[in-house]
């Protein structure tokens, strides 16, 4: 179970610039509470790269590395 989610400074700036902070925090809390299916947390293909992603909203996805119990978000992508 994921116990911590960390973001880079660039990710925080990106979220603030697009007014996604509140929605991101909501999804983050779902993941920390163990509701990963609601956040659509999945391993990205190819699975050998060990990159995970989750849905912020219909348009944006957060990409992260999973390190035991910590999810480290390194990029936000415009999915459309």
Quick: pLDDT tens for 34-44.
998 888 999 99
- List, edge to edge, every strand of the sheet that includes 42-43: 4-7, 70-78, 60-67, 51-55, 42-43
Structure tokens at 1: 């179970």
Structural domain that includes position 13? 4-78
Quick: pLDDT tens for 1-42.
899 999 999 999 999 999 999 999 999 999 999 998 888 999
Quick: pLDDT tens for 33-79.
999 888 899 999 998 899 999 999 999 999 999 999 999 999 999 97
Q: What is the CATH number of the domain that holds 64?
A: 3.30.2310.20
Count up the domains in the chain and report the number. 1
Residue 74 DSSP code = E
């Amino acid at each position: 179970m994921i116990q911590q989610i960390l973001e880079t400074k660039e990710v925080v700036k990106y979220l603030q610039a697009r007014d996604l902070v509140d929605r991101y925090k909501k999804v983050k809390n779902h993941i920390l509470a163990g509701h990963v299916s609601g956040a659509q947390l999945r391993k990205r293909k190819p699975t050998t790269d060990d990159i995970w992603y989750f849905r912020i909203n219909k348009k944006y996805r957060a990409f992260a590395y999973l390190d035991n119990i910590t999810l480290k978000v390194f990029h936000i992508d415009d999915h459309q």
